[in-house]
Structure 1
Amino acid sequence: MVEQAARRMAEQIVMSAPNGWTRAVLSGRAGRGGSGMTGGYTVPGTRAHTGLPQMHSLLMELAEGIRNDRGWEPVSWEMDCRPSGEYRLVTFTEAVGRVTGRGGGYEVVLDPDYRLPQPGLRQTAGTAAPAGDPELAATRFRTYLERRAAILGSREELPPPVTAAALDDAERRIGCPLPADLRALYLIADGDGIGYRNLCLIENNAWLSLESLVAEYTDWREWQDRPWFGWDLEWDAVVFDTTPADTVRRCGGHPAWIRFATSEDGNYLAVDMDPARDGRPGQVIATGRDYDDGPVYIADSITSLLEQHLELLEQGSYEKDDDYISLCRPACGAGTRQIIGGIPEEVPPTLQTIHINDATGIVDLSPLTEAPSLRRLHLNRSTTADLTPVRDLPIESLRVALDDGDLTPLAGHPHLASLRLNTTAPADLTPLATVPNLHGLDLSGAHIPDLTVLSGLSNLRYLALDRQQWAALLDHGKVPPALAAVRLAGEDVTFDDALVLASRIGLATEDALRVVGSL
């Protein structure tokens, strides 16, 4: 079945080929969850690979055959075809897969269960008492319902309340207490939905029934705090701080965030029962699909949030559509957190990430010292000569092209977690040995005369090198001891090259499946 699928794939590739093509190299992933493909045809005289044939059904057939034959799910694959009709297919588990984007190449996952620790877990825990007041929350909620009824001309129907025993049981099932003011609301109504219709009473979100809250929490815990998007995206990911700072832990998700309302698009309101230093237990945050950069602080409690809702109604900051009310919250004045393009004349103190793109000349980073919360600094197709301004900034993700190769300013940097380095001169990696939280390095664009320093980076989990760099490091037997994933960078590297690297760093690849044929 696999051989037949490979042949049909080659036939489709040849049939779809443009005039003048000399080679087609396509690769991707396929399994029950779907298929993906990158690469294309090489045509002399053109700048890049062109076009992709339609092969989803063939890839699903290939995946099924390999699943039946080897038990792999999903699979990674690479197909190399020539105009002569010769073709070669290589497949393996998803532990080895093509990386798209800058530098290309292949990624090898050595420890599929490892996840990088979230920075919020290192933050100081809050010690303040909850800000919520259950009696005041109940009073405000009833007043809120009365004012809505006055606007609509009739009272809105709500589900009956739950019992205190049901709330106790829910807390036992999730293993975490609910804030007292949220409990008070459930003793008035079990969410705001009847049938398929929700009133969206709280921040224009559907308030979940108690049973749905428990189910949502249980399902959420199964993916361990937040989705994992793969090492190619996660190795230098950054989580923003909230405004006000140090109120919510800098995490993509946390087991003490209890989702109680949803906008029904993958985003949620949650009560935070384990706040950061300046937060309050029971504070309300927004989290979910659109909050990969971190949660957003909403209010110090359900009680305070209800007060805000009453004020919006009093101010007329709402829209009425038949029997539905939508609150209109004014735009948040948290300040600029992200800049893309270049360093402005006045750097906002709230800046947390900046992408400096296509700068002419050497970039002076000293103005960025006006951004004391800067977490991500990426120079894209831009070069600097001095990293001294980085030394006193809390930068965690640094992508930089360095004119002189001097990494001394990074020595002992307490926050730096990931570094992508390009150099125009040889660079000495010795200063990185003193960076305590460094977990990711991409040196594939750097000139590093001595890579053996890497063996002393005991916390390094991700490493990207080009073919020659990997050969030098492996030949000296100096691979960092705790790597969970690596990348073989280069537009021209093949699946076989990646399998060889994987084998040399300890991954068993001898059962990789290869099919060779000719049309």
Structure 2
Amino acid sequence: MSTEAEQNVARLIEQSVARVARAIVAHAPEGWAEAVLVSADGLFGLNVDGEYTLSGVASRPIHLTGGFQDLSDVTAAVGTARGWERTRLEIRCLPSGVYSLVASRDVVSRLYGERPGFLAVLDHGYRLFPAGYAQEEGMAGPAGDPELALARLRAYLKRRAEILGHAEMLPPPVSEAALADAERRLGRPLPPDLRALYLFADGSGDDARSLFGNLGWIPLAQLVAANADRREPVWTGWEDHWDAVVLDADPPGTVRRCHEHPAWLPFATADDGNYLAVDMSPAHAGRPGQVIQIGRDYDEGPLYICDSVTSLLARYLDLLDQGAYEVGEGDDYIGFVEDPYESGSDPELLSGGIPHDVPSGLQAVLIQFNAPTSPLDLAPLAAAPRLRRLDLKRRPVTDLAPIRDLPIESLAVSLHDGDLAPLEGHRHLRSLDLATSTKIDLTPLRTAPNLHGLDLSQAAVQDLTVLAEFTHLRYLALTGSQWAVLLDENKVPPALAAARLSERDASRAEALSWAAKLGLTSGASFVVSGTLASDSETGRTR
């Protein structure tokens, strides 16, 4: 290493690795012969695993009580130095004090759960965006009225004071200049009614912490900060996104089918990861400034509340007039006993089958574990014109014709003695997870224009090489033998961004060999070695 900066990075790596090795040796069991610890970049940080070898046969897991920051520092430093998207560390220690680190570019990620195997990302820059980003935007004007909203807030505060026996003090208002600066940073204006409320008070403060229906009204600066995290869709990896579906709000077409959007401005929360937000970019049937609920508990999609903050305050006043509230201990807050945001319909059916009378608002069907083995009749689904997701793999299906004209985007199905002809040209289908009892012809899927994800690891296929004609396919899951057919024939779909090797028992070496055939290589490893001494730690890098 030539420059001082490079030397400092090398020193940090050597010292960090030595500290981890010292921690491994310090906690080693009696009679150990070798210790191996492996860490790799994961979705929520580093995944760390390891074991001590005893007498060459037995083993015991490594429980690292410290050193995670050192592992993180090494991962970041090596990844930056080599330009790797993901870095894998393997640290080996011997009782003699000798230790070594081998850091390599991690081109495969091990997967667990119902979809085990290995994932290889071929295009790290490609993302699957929710369908809601392309939805037509509403053209109606805002429904809120700033003067009426302010009058309702004053009436609401007065009514609350009568119930509590004392007035709640709100923070001072923000200035016009502060509002203008906030809107500049947000890149869009606030709806006029919410804007008027901030000119009355900057949130609810500690004294009226449950002002917005058991939620706190957040200060303007916090609104801006909360929105900063929502400028781009959150990407949690291909296994979460390749077949993901965001359901429609009720009423239909009011809110974009996304998990987050830069025009959704959170203004109230209970600090639990959920928010009330004003929607400044509604879908075609919505209105700017409408109130929606988003956040941690809304993974199926946003919840539509009402057309404006003005209407929301009217709802709170109605609930107080109905007596649908309770006063907290010490008369310091009011909580609504009814959920002021309750949806009127359930868009998802969790069942062992499909009932004869299907609700028209149904959007998702998931067949559960305890399903019978008889074939599933899909004909009743014709009564659900908003159906977006079907997970039917726990029941056999013989005929897909009943879903030909439904707007299904994600389909998981066990097809027995049927074919894929009903899916030919299907313009909504985005992902298909297919299991079959007999060999199936894939050619009808070539004309599904939005099909970007396929899992064929449980399917018998007549001719896999036809996949080379699937020019829009971005994700593909196959078994090792299925991948061998495509790789040997040079018929891998040309636009793949991610691939899965669906082999529960595949070794990492096998996965790396598979990834190399897809064009991914680990490259030269980064190696550190040294010997622990009682009074010093030395290492060398190459």
Range of TM-score over shorter length:
0.7 to 0.9
1:352 partnered with 2:359: no
Q: Which amino acid aligns with 1:463?
A: L
> What one-letter code is carried by the residue in structure 1 that aligns with 2:266?
R
Sort the Cα spacing of 1:320 and 1:181 in 2 relative to 1 into closer, same or farther, 3 A: same
Greater shift, 500-509 or 254-263, is seen at 500-509
Match of 2:289 in 1: 282
Asked whether the equivalents of residues 429 and 448 of structure 2 are also in contact (C-alpha less than 8 Å), the reply is yes
Task: Give me the whole-angstrom Cα distance separating, in 2, the residues matched to 1:446 and 1:39.
Answer: 35
Q: Tell me, in whole angstroms, the C-alpha distance in 2 between the residues paired with 1:441 and 1:182.
A: 45
Equivalent residue for 2:241?
234
Could you tell me which residue of structure 2 aligns to residue 45 of structure 1? none
Equivalents in 2 of 1:38, 1:356: separation in Å? Answer: 35
1:446 paired to 2:459: yes
Assess, with a 3 A threshold, how the Cα gap between structure 1 residues 436 and 26 changes in structure 2: closer, same or farther.
farther
- Partner of 1:312 in structure 2? 319
**1:501 positional shift:** 2.3
SS of alignment partner, residue 162 of structure 2: helix
Distance 1:412 1:12, change over 3 A: farther
CA displacement, residues 82-107 of structure 1 (integer Å, 9 cap, x when unaligned): xxxxxx99864454211111241100
Question: 1:116 maps to what in 2?
Answer: 128
CA distance in 1, matches of 2:77, 2:281: 46
Structure 1's 451 and 92: CA in aligned 2 closer, same or farther, altered over 3 A?
A: farther
Tell me if structure 2 keeps the 8 A contact 1:239–1:294.
yes
The 3-state SS of whatever aligns with 2:229 is: helix
What TM-score, normalized by structure 1, do the two folds share? 0.85
Number of matched residues? 492
Q: Tell me whether 1:105 sits opposite 2:112 in the alignment.
A: no
Equivalent residue letter for 1:301: S
Match status 1:412 vs 2:425: yes
Structure 2 distance, partners of 1:173, 1:67, is 31
Q: Check 1:229–1:306 CA distance in 2 against 1; reply closer, same or farther (3 A cut).
A: same
Whole-angstrom CA distance in 2 between matches of 1:470 and 1:430: 18
Q: Is the 8 A contact 2:399 2:418 kept in 1?
A: no
Identity of aligned residues (%): 51
Structure 1 counterpart SS, 2:381 = helix
Residue 336 of structure 2 is aligned with which of 327, 332, 353?
Answer: 327
Q: Secondary structure at the match of 1:193?
A: coil
Distance 1:266 1:234, change over 3 A: same
Deviation at 1:307, TM superposition (A): 0.5
Deviation, 1:355, is 1.4
Structure 1 position 61, deviation (Å)? 5.7
Q: 1:271 and 1:103, CA in 2 relative to 1: closer, same or farther beyond 3 A?
A: closer
Structure 1 residue 174 and structure 2 residue 156: aligned?
no
- Three-state SS of the structure 2 residue aligned to 1:220 is coil
Task: Rate the CA distance shift 1:428–1:78 in 2: closer, same or farther, 3 A.
Answer: farther
Checking the alignment, whether the CA contact within 8 Å between 2:79 and 2:86 is kept in structure 1 is: no
Separation in 1, partners of 2:380, 2:91: 49
From 475, 481, 487, the counterpart of 2:500: 487
Q: Distance in 2 between matches of 1:465 and 1:89?
A: 33
2:210 aligned partner: 200
The aligned counterpart of 1:83 is none
Partner of 1:192, secondary structure, is coil
What per-residue deviation string (whole Å, max 9, x for no partner) do you get for residues 59-90 of structure 1?
7665555555554686446899xxxxxxx998
Unaligned segments of structure 2, at least 5 residues: 1-13, 53-58, 93-99, 529-542
**Preserved CA contact (<8 Å) 2:251 2:304:** yes
Letter in 1 for 2:240: L
SS at match of 1:392: coil
Letter in 2 for 1:189: A
Say if 1:31 and 1:73, in contact at 8 Å, map to a contact too: no
What residue is the counterpart of 2:173 in the other structure?
A: 161
Q: How does 1:359-370 map to 2 (within 5 A)?
A: 359-370=372-383
- 1: distance between equivalents of 2:151 and 2:408? 45
Measure the CA separation in 2 of the matches of 1:3 and 1:335: 58
The structural deviation recorded for 1:14 is: 9.5
Q: 2:277 aligns with which of 267, 270, 275?
A: 270
Residues 12 and 467 of structure 1: is their aligned pair in 2 closer, same or farther, counting only changes over 3 Å? farther
1:233-268 CA distance string (max 9 Å, x none): 211111010011110010111111111111211111
Following TM superposition, by how much is the alpha carbon of 1:509 offset from its aligned partner in structure 2, in angstroms? 1.9
The two structures have a TM-score, normalised by structure 2, of 0.82
Q: For the residues of structure 2 that align with 1:429 and 1:404, how far apart are their CA atoms?
A: 14
Where does structure 1 lack aligned partners over 5 or more consecutive residues?
A: 18-23, 42-49, 81-87
Rounded to whole Å, the distance in 2 between the matches of 1:5 and 1:13 is 12
2:425, 2:24 → 1: CA distance?
52
Distance 1:180 1:108 in 2: 48
Q: Which residue of 2 aligns with 1:85?
A: none
Distance in 2 between residues matched to 1:334 and 1:94, nearest whole Å: 47
CA contact (8 A) 2:393 2:435 kept: no
